[in-house]
Amino acid sequence: MALHVVLYQPQIPANTGNIARTCAGTGTSLHLIRPLGFSTDDKQLKRAGLDYWEHVDIHYYDSLEDFFTAYPEGQFFYITKFGTNTYSDFNYSDLELDYFFVFGKETTGLPEELRLANEERCLRIPMNENIRSLNLSNTAAILIYEALRQQNFPKLI
């Protein structure tokens, strides 16, 4: 089926633009859950995505509930520094499934109740104690390319 990046209330336009560019280049769908911390007309957003916006499969939702209602059968993974599993602990190779990588706000992450209700699906990227977290767009790229690597990079040249 497909890979999906879900951004819950993103706040930094350049991060969303960079993620959109990665999505355009990999055939990954992008889902944005409002409220957004910027206008979709923002110059930084458009500059980061360059001229690739027409190739982004992008969807908007007014709430997490609206998003989950639209995709009741997805394989959801919640990306957080509080995850007990690392991103490489899971198998994303089944091309018949939809894999959703859900990211929280840059400043506060995912809602605590969502994390606690899905602890077994909360993933982290290992890092040392010198930083609080990796950049959102870098983290999204790591997850997308790990899943694509496991799938032998379908439809990519």
User: Is 82 in contact with 115 (CB distance < 8 Å)?
Assistant: yes
pLDDT tens-digit profile, the chain (157 residues): 799 999 999 999 889 989 999 999 999 999 999 999 887 775 666 665 567 888 999 999 999 999 999 999 999 999 999 999 999 999 999 999 999 999 999 999 999 999 999 999 999 999 999 998 999 999 999 999 999 999 999 999 8
Q: What is the pTM of this model?
A: 0.94
For CA atoms 106, 137, 58, 154, give the dihedral sign: negative
CA distance 15 to 104: 12
Beta-bridge mates of residue 58: 30
